[in-house]
Chain A
Amino acid sequence: MADASYPDDLLYHDQHDWARLEGEDHAVFGITWYAQDSLGEVVFYDPPEVGATILKDSSYAEVESVKAVSDVIAPLSGEIVEVNDALADSPEKINEDPYGEGWLVKVKLSHADEAGTLLDAGEYRKFLSAE
């Protein structure tokens, strides 16, 4: 696992999830470096089904390490349009590349304006150091 990093082009949720906005009303979600580091080596990712509706601040998936299960919290609301199937065989990508190959789902946003409530990289870093 590389050192801590929080890319500037992402938005962050205080439950340690990120969102990358794509176009008007789409986004990619994943978990942050901090989240994967506290979880330890990820052994399993249980994705939602394509077409499922997800709600901001609610759990939409689970990631497992050997001795912990964590709910993944949706940073924004919408409908799942794609899940990262590659994680079924190599969940370790969530550790190795949390913002790249370790992405979790693509979502068509239902309330794109919710993005205004999320943190930018600087604010998230500040949030982490305060925790």
Chain B
Amino acid sequence: MSRYTSATSADRAAMLETIGASSTAELFDQVPEALRLDRPLALPPGMSEAEVFERLAELAGRNADAEEQVCFLGAGMYDHYVPAIVDAITQRSEFLTPYTPYQPEISQGGLQVMFEFQTAMSELTGLPISTAGLYEGPSSVASAGYLAIGATGRRRFVVSRGVHPHSRETLATYAEGFGAEIVEVGLKDGVTDPAALADAVDGETAAVFLQNPNFLGVIEDVEALGGAAKAEDALLVVAVDPMTLSVLKPPGECGADVALGEGQPLGNRLDFGGPSFGFFCGTEALIRRMPGRIAGETDDVDGRRGFVLALQTREQHIRREKATHNICTAQALNALAAMVHLSWLGREGFRELGELLVRRTAYARQRLAAVEGVELLHKAPVAREFALRLDAPVGPVLERCAEHGIAAGYPLGREYPEYENGLLVAITERRSKEQIDELADVFGTAISAERGEFLSHSESKSPQPQEIG
């Protein structure tokens, strides 16, 4: 078994003597006897490192990961290529094992990374203030709700149905606590219905929540939709996919007060959903209401440039029940991965990648829409993900694709009953033209097989087929 401790019997004896105790058990005397566990924990005995590795490898082996399957799954997390230097740098002890930078003199590395990260997120979103990062995307949306209540004194959120279902649900969970009403605005032709949005926003609206591209992959006209928020002095909160911000107009140029999102596409692994990070950017006016850590630049006593955690009076350890948020986490290691990835892509590469995604997605969309039994759920412009409607039950079609080693997409039916056989297909730079073509072929076969089965099933149900004509 592995222990990671060093105390030998001799150490223990010497230490107990210094303490003045006869045994380590004596040190636990302060725990009332009735509360002491009088048996070993019902867990297996410890294992050797080799055994633990084998056990975990065995568990990992029973997952169909993106090496085993060709992955067209998205819905907020994407199978991008993470360059080798991300692993090399994030696995350095100096980044992996420190705590939050409470002692800035010995945390300049981490603090400077936060400052560089904030700069990058500010550039991407077109908003001047970025925090050092929150847990992940959907809880960042909920945090924006809490900010909006404080900033406006109002308690109603108008939320587009194009916002990620996980974000909407998380916002609702949080709102049950801090007290806010949620009004949902539906989609029309793939985009947030502008008339319904304008109707829903009123003088009680704290914030309008949009997502761009929205959950169906469609590019929203954020600027036009945001006018409804501006007209009533509500905050405009826009969730964005950072990978699309090289080609899409940034939220800061569309009137957003807060831009946030799931950071996983930037340098972070899929990890079955986490850990990743949420980014959170805002206008100057909101700087003292922002949630979480923010690094700032300053000088030391000798005039050297340095970095510290700035504006800490917003935070829970100082303002306690009046804090802007209860968070004390900054997903610093995940934000570092993003920063290294963005540096590696660079200004040109980031743009090229965005364009590559748009073009491959356009190709895939066209290719799949041409498959018999498939139609586009909407025709609006998309960036890196698009929605289809199948003329066959989506579950069995996906199962057939999986048998061919393809995770064909994300079924929409659970979260959007109105798109019962809807499917969301995501593209990354790892999905080559050949893989897209293969998907189209497998998809076509799967759908026709399911339709055939469906038809023969219906036929078998009706012993007297209707005469045609």
- Please list the residues of chain A having a beta carbon within 8 angstroms of any beta carbon in chain B: 43-44, 46, 64-69
Determine if B12 is an interface residue (Cβ-Cβ < 8 Å): no
CB of B288 within 8 A of chain A?
yes
- Pull 17 A–B residue pairs with CB atoms less than 8 Å apart, ordered by A: A43-B313, A44-B288, A44-B313, A46-B288, A64-B313, A65-B313, A66-B312, A66-B313, A67-B312, A67-B313, A67-B318, A68-B313, A68-B318, A69-B313, A69-B318, A69-B319, A69-B322
Top 7 A-B pairs, shortest CB-CB distance? A64-B313, A69-B313, A69-B319, A69-B318, A67-B318, A67-B312, A68-B318
Other contacts beyond A44-B313, A67-B312: 10, CB < 8 A: A43-B313, A65-B313, A66-B313, A67-B313, A67-B318, A68-B313, A68-B318, A69-B318, A69-B319, A69-B322
Tell me the smallest distance from the CB of A71 to a CB of chain B, in Å: 10
Q: Which chain B residues in 306-327 approach chain A with CB under 8 Å? A: 312-313, 318-319, 322
State the Cβ distance, B25 to closest chain A Cβ, in Å. 41
Query: Which residues of chain B have a CB within 8 Å of any CB of chain A?
Result: 288, 312-313, 318-319, 322
A23 to B292 Cα, complex, angstroms: 47
C-alpha spacing A43/B318, complex, angstroms = 14
Contact residues in B for A67 (Cβ distance below 8 Å)? 312-313, 318
Q: Which residue of B lies closest to A68 (CB)?
A: B318
Point out the residues of chain A lying under 8 angstroms from B322, CB to CB: 69
Main SS of chain A's interface residues?
strand
Complex Cα gap A85–B313 (Å): 21
Q: Hey, which chain A residues are within 8 Å of B318, CB to CB? A: 67-69
Of the listed residues B312, B313, B318, B322, the one surrounded by the most CB atoms of chain A closer than 10 A to its CB is B313
Question: How near does chain A come to B309, taking the closest CB pair, in angstroms?
Answer: 10
Alpha-carbon gap, A44 to B312, bound state (A): 12
**CA gap between A46 and B312 in the complex, in Å:** 15
* Closest B residue to A65 using CB positions: B313
* Nearest Cβ on chain A to B318's Cβ, whole angstroms: 6
Kindly provide the distance from the CB of B105 to the nearest chain A CB, expressed in whole angstroms. 15
A residues near B312, Cβ cutoff 8 Å: 66-67
Residue of B nearest to A63 (CB): B313
Residues of A contacting B319 with CB < 8 Å?
A: 69
What is the CA–CA distance of A43 and B288 in the complex, to the nearest angstrom?
Answer: 12
A residues near B313, Cβ cutoff 8 Å: 43-44, 64-69
Q: Which residues of B contact A64 (CB under 8 A)?
A: 313
CA distance A131 to B118 in the complex (A): 45
A16-B239 Cα distance, complex, nearest whole Å: 46
Contacts of A65 in B (CB 8 A): 313
- Chain B residue numbers with a CB within 8 Å of A68 are 313, 318
Complex CA–CA separation, A43 to B312 (angstroms): 11
A66 to B318, CA, bound (A): 10
Q: How far is the CA of A105 from the CA of B364 in the complex (A)?
A: 64
A66 to B309, CA, bound (A): 10
Report the minimum CB–CB distance from A87 to chain B (whole Å).
15
Q: Which residues of B contact A46 (CB under 8 A)?
A: 288
Cα–Cα distance between A44 and B313 once the two chains are bound (Å): 10
Nearest CB in chain B: distance from A12 CB, A: 26
Q: Complex Cα distance A68/B318, Å? A: 6
- Give A68 to B313 CA distance when docked, in angstroms: 6
C-alpha spacing A46/B313, complex, angstroms: 12
Smallest Cβ distance from B270 to chain A, in angstroms? 39
Q: Whole-angstrom distance from the CB of A102 to the nearest CB of chain B?
A: 19
| Chain B contacts for A43, CB-based, 8 A | 313
A44 to B310, CA, bound (A): 12
CA distance in complex: A67, B246 (Å):
38
* A66 proximity list for chain B (CB < 8 A): 312-313
Give the Cβ gap from A36 to chain B, nearest Cβ, in Å: 16
- Of all chain B residues, the one with the shortest Cβ separation from A71 is B322
Residue of A nearest to B322 (CB): A69
How far does the Cβ of B150 sit from chain A's closest Cβ, in whole Å? 12
Contacts of A44 in B (CB 8 A): 288, 313
A66 to B313, CA, bound (A): 7
**Chain A nearest Cβ from B297, distance in angstroms:** 15
Q: Give bound CA distance, A46 to B288, whole Å.
A: 10
B39 → chain A closest CB, angstroms: 46
Least CB distance from B306 to A in Å reads: 15
A67 to B318, CA, bound (A): 7
Docked Cα-Cα span, A42 to B236, in Å, equals 32
In the bound assembly, the distance between CA atoms of A43 and B313 in angstroms comes to: 10
Instruction: Write out the residue numbers on chain A whose beta carbons fall within 8 Å of the beta carbon of B288.
Output: 44, 46
Q: Which residue of B lies closest to A43 (CB)?
A: B313
CA distance A69 to B322 in the complex (A): 10
Complex: how many Å from CA A80 to CA B322?
23
CA distance A64 to B312 in the complex (A): 10
Tell me the complex Cα distance, A64–B319, Å: 10
Please, how many angstroms separate the alpha-carbon atoms of A65 and B319 in the complex?
Answer: 12
Give the docked Cα–Cα distance between A94 and B319 (Å).
Answer: 21
Distance from B307 Cβ to chain A, minimum over Cβ atoms (Å)? 15
